[in-house]
Every structure is written in C-alpha cells, then in structure tokens.
C-alpha cells in the first residue's frame, strides 16, 4: 500500500513539473561523499526535487506465518520517527508541502519524495528519520493494523482479489511469491513491533539501495541530500535468499464458488525474464495479443465483436526469481465459458502463427510513442530511472529503446510468440460461471 501526504502548493507546482523530451534528457551517474551511487537528471524549470529509491527485500522477506510484515512496516514509517510522534511528523510534512510515499512489492521496498527546493533539507531529514528511526508506537501500530485488516476483510469477498490470490497461491505453492504482500487476516494480527524493526534492520541497507533524483539541483547538492537521508543506514543488509521458481498448474482451471453477478477470471503462465534476449520481442507480441490497448486481439474479440466484457488485458510481469504472463477479465456468469474459450483460442492462434506484419508495425509505433507518457513529469522520470537501474538496462536505455523495438523482425516475433504462449495457462475464476468446473490437480 502506498501512502501520500500531499499539500496543495506542491500539487500546483507538480502540474508544471514537466521535464524535457526523452531524447533531450541527460542522465548523470553521481556518487555522494559517503560513496552512495545515484542517477541524476537536472531540471531547472521549476524549484522542485523528486526522489525515487528502492531497497532489495520486499514482502518475500516476510515469514510465512507473519505475511504482511513489510507492508505494515511501510504503512507505519510516517506514523512517528525519532523524537517526533505521528501527529508532529504529519504536521512537519504538511506545513512544508512535503510528499512522502512508501510501497512494498514482492522483491522491493520502494519509496518516493517530492518537495519544493526551499524545504528540501527538512524533507530529507524527515525521510532519514522514517527510514532509520521509525517508532512503531503501540497506538499507531494497532490503528494501522486495524486499517489493514479492514482492507483484507473487504478483499475476502472481492471476486477480483479472490481470483488473483488463488492464482498466485496455485502458481507458487510454498514460495514467498505465492503470498499476498499485504498478508492475511490470520497473519497480520501476529506481527509485532519487533518484527517490523527486524525487517527494517535487515532490508534498509546501503548495499541494496537504488536511487534516482530529478529536479532543480546540481550534483554536489544532490550528493549531500542523499547522504543526509541514507548515509546513516547499515552498509550491508541481512536478507534471506529467495529461490528461483516457475509458475505451476499450467492447464488447470480452478473455480471458486462465489455468489456475485459476474465471474472474474485471472489467467496466466510462464513469462520472460527482463534480461532474456527475447524480452523485447515478447513485450511487443504480448502487446498485440492483450497489452491493454483498444487494438489488442483479446480486446477486439472479447469486447468489441461480442460484448462479453468491459475489458480484457494481459501483460508481462517480471520479478527477481520468476517471470509470468498475467491477464484478466470479468463477464456474465452465463458467458464466462465463451469468453474464456476466446482467450484460449486467441492465445493458441498467436502461438501457432504469431502476429502479422501490419500488427507488428503498428505495435512498434505505439510502444515507441507511448513511452513518453511515462516520462512527462519529474516524479515519473525518477521512478523510471529507478526501474531501469533495478533491471540493469544501462544508463543509455532510454536512448536505445526505440532501436531495440525497431530491431524486432517478423520472424523474431513469430518465434517468440510460440515460445511465450505454447505452455498453457493456469486459470482461476471467482463467481458462478455456467458450465465450468474445476479440473483436478
């Protein structure tokens, strides 16, 4: 879960915090006085600084019986730190128009900061306190725990959450990836303040830290601010190893009986690692099949031609120890079988024949043009730069990306389509789909 404390003044400046086009962007690799590396983009158009960072070690570090530890810790970082209680900490953020955000995923703990230049020292001081000296006061822990449990109770009757959760549990049984980052109603009550302190101690370390900073700032000042927030952290973390895994259950259909008007479907299979030489071809092919745009095959066949669903999409998702293709849709209970059959037939057709030359050309054009939308503000650029670093794509990736897309030929696309979509799918359905029953394990 991500939490934001945003002031109107910062939001107003953010509307104008637009950075130069990707082709004109200069990314610098800098090193702080204490030796912490970061990527910097200087943008002097507005007096704003945006920071994005990530620590290795997300919810996969949780103990199975205390799933949700990292998530709960993240929710509490701004609920008091150092000698500041939660109320005082919040007032400091609000009075200085400082925005902090924390988010936990399976592999990483991600964080962000945005501040006006005049308040940047205060902003980085508050970030330092949150990361190095969180209080985890008892009253705050119980209040936030209650909020998490209320959300989990809502999810327990939400068909989308149920279908997704069962997919991950079945695809990765006994593996940390099979657990939800937010935990369960059974595990969250077991989490103690000491558990969260232990997670922070093990994960918030300089050797697992990736940083990007964008804004009206020079390299020397950026290095000093980075040290202000991060130099006091442990040099080396203490993360437990996570085993590599491949999704299991391909070919299975699991129906979860739920009395709701629609049936919600989650489907997916083996994906491509981000460093796989075939990744870019697979990314383009998957966009053509179900990448979330109105032109995808699945959208056209399921919604436009037959009106079976409001939307349907499929995307690649990659992690440190696995990669998947994951998609979903929702449709009437009496037409779920029809919608699912179309998804399966279109996936099979893509595997057997690949895309057409016209589809490939259109997808390339779209993917090159649409990328600029992820780089149209300081905060978005900082987030993209952090992800590029985590994926080890190189500091010149933004400049090389267009040529990489253009380099995918029709034969490459057909070969990778067969590789990506020939392995079958695991399908979970939450609802009362007419004519569908679970297949045996």
Residue 325 has phi, psi (to 5 degrees) of -105, 125
The reply to whether 221 and 328 lie within a common domain is: no
CA distances from 239 to 63, 65, 378 (A): 12, 17, 31
CA-based nearest residue to 211, from 230, 224, 239, 237: 230
Is there a single domain that holds both residue 195 and residue 67? yes
372: alpha, beta or left? (left if phi > 0; alpha if psi -120 to 50):
alpha
What pTM was estimated for this model as a whole? 0.93
Asked if residue 302 and residue 217 are part of one domain, the reply reads: no
Instruction: Write the pLDDT tens digit of every residue in 156-188.
Output: 999 999 999 999 999 999 999 999 999 999 999
For residue 409, the enclosing domain spans: 253-374+393-431
Dist. CA 438–CA 441, nearest whole Å:
9
Q: CA dist 383 to 52, 78, 308, 339, 378, Å?
A: 6, 20, 36, 36, 9
Q: Same domain for 223 and 292? A: no
Q: With pLDDT > 70 as the criterion, what percentage of the chain qualifies?
A: 94
**pLDDT over 90 for what percent of the chain?**
91
Q: Report yes or no on 237 lying in a domain.
A: no
Q: What is the pLDDT of residue 146?
A: 98
3-state secondary structure 157-210: CCHHHHHHHHHHHHHCCCCHHHCCCCCCCCCHHHCCHHHHHHHHHHHCEHHHEE
Among 230, 265, 295, the domain-final residue is: 230
What string of DSSP letters covers 236-260? Answer: S--PPP--------TT-EEEEE---
For residues 359-386, one letter each, b for 16 or more C-beta atoms within 10 angstroms of the residue's C-beta and e for the rest, the string is bbebbbebbeeeeeeebebbbbbbbbbb
Q: Assess whether 195 and 298 both reside in one domain.
A: no
Q: What is the pLDDT of residue 45?
A: 87
Residue 23 has pLDDT above 80, yes or no: no
**C-beta separation of 303 from 309 below 8 A:** yes
Instruction: End-to-end CA distance of the chain: give it in Å, rounded.
Output: 33
Within-domain flag for 206: yes
Q: Cα–Cα distance between 347 and 270 in angstroms, integer?
A: 13
Query: Which DSSP state fits 21?
Result: -
Which two three-digit tokens encode residue 209?
């830290």
Q: What mean pLDDT is predicted for residues 52-68?
A: 98
Residue 242 has pLDDT above 90, yes or no: yes
Mean pLDDT, all residues of the chain = 94
Paired sense of beta strands 323-332 and 309-318, if any: antiparallel
| CA dihedral sign, ordered 113, 151, 333, 426 | positive
Centroid of chain to Cα 355:
28
How many other C-beta atoms lie within 10 A of the C-beta of residue 74?
Answer: 28
Same domain, 278 and 322: yes
Q: Is 328 among the domain residues?
A: yes
Over 50: is that where the pLDDT of 358 sits?
yes
Q: Which residues contact 435 (CB under 8 A, 6 or more apart)?
A: 337
Whether residues 27 and 124 fall in one domain: yes
Longest distance between any two alpha carbons in the chain, whole Å: 66
Evaluate whether residue 290 is within a structural domain. yes
Say if residue 333 is in the same domain as residue 420.
Answer: yes
Q: Do 308 and 217 have their domain in common?
A: no
Phi first, then psi: give them for residue 297, nearest 5 degrees. Answer: -60, -45
Q: How many helices (H) and strands (E) does the chain have?
A: 15, 13
Q: Which of 186, 177, 229, 221 minimizes the C-alpha distance to 204?
A: 229
Reply yes or no on whether the pLDDT at 350 is more than 50. Answer: yes
What's the chain's Rg over C-alpha atoms? 23
Reduced to 3 DSSP states, what percent helix, strand and coil does the chain have, rounded to the nearest 5? 45, 20, 35
Our count of domains for the chain comes to 2
Asked if residue 121 and residue 28 are part of one domain, the reply reads yes
Q: What six digits make up the tokens of 427?
A: 């399908």
Rounded Cα–Cα distance for residues 346 and 153 (Å): 36
Residue 22: per-residue pLDDT = 55
Q: What is the CATH number of the domain that holds 293?
A: 3.30.830.10
pLDDT attached to residue 293: 78
The reply to whether 69 and 160 lie within a common domain is yes
**Residue 441 covered by a domain:** no
Instruction: From 110, 135, 108, 112, select the one nearest 124 (Cα to Cα).
Output: 112
Nearest to 144 by CA among 76, 190, 61, 45: 76
**Is residue 9 scored above 50 in pLDDT?**
no
């Amino acid at each position: 879960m991500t939490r934001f404390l945003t002031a109107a003044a910062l939001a107003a400046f953010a509307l104008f915090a637009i950075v130069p086009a990707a082709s004109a962007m200069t990314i610098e690799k800098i090193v702080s006085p204490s030796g912490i590396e970061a990527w910097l983009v200087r943008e002097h158009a507005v007096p704003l600084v945006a920071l994005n960072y990530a620590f290795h070690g997300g919810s996969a570090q949780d103990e199975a019986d205390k799933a949700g530890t990292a998530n709960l810790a993240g929710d509490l970082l701004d609920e008091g730190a150092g000698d500041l209680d939660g109320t005082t900490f919040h007032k400091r953020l609000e009075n200085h128009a400082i925005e902090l955000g924390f988010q936990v995923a399976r592999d990483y703990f991600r964080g962000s900061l945005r501040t006006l230049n005049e308040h940047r020292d205060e902003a980085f001081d508050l970030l330092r306190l949150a990361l190095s000296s969180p209080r985890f006061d008892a009253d705050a822990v119980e209040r936030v725990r209650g909020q998490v449990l209320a959300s989990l109770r809502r999810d327990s009757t939400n068909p989308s959450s149920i279908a997704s959760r069962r997919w991950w549990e079945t695809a990765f049984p006994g593996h940390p990836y099979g657990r939800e980052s937010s935990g369960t109603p059974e595990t969250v009550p077991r989490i103690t303040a000491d558990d969260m302190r232990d997670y922070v101690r093990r994960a918030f370390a300089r050797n697992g830290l990736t940083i990007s900073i964008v804004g009206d700032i020079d390299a020397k000042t950026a290095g000093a601010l980075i040290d202000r927030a991060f130099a006091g952290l442990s040099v080396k973390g203490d993360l437990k190893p996570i085993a590599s895994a491949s999704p299991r259950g391909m070919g299975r259909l699991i129906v979860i009986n739920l009395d709701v008007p629609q049936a919600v479907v989650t489907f997916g299979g083996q994906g491509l690692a981000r460093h796989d030489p075939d990744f870019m071809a697979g990314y383009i092919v998957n966009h053509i099949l179900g990448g979330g745009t109105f032109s995808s095959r699945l959208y056209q066949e399921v919604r436009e031609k037959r009106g079976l669903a409001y939307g349907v999409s499929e995307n690649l998702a990659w992690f440190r120890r696995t990669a998947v293709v994951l998609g979903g849709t929702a449709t009437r209970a009496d037409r779920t079988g029809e919608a699912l059959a179309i998804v399966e037939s279109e996936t099979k057709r893509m595997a057997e024949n690949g895309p057409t030359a016209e589809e490939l050309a259109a997808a390339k054009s779209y993917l090159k043009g649409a990328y600029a939308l992820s780089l149209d503000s300081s905060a978005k650029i900082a987030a993209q730069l952090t992800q590029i670093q985590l994926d080890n794509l190189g500091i010149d990736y933004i400049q090389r990306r267009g040529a990489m897309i253009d380099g995918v030929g029709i034969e490459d696309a057909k070969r990778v389509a067969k590789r990506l979509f020939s392995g079958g799918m695991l399908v979970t359905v939450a609802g009362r789909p007419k004519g569908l029953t679970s297949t045996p394990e």
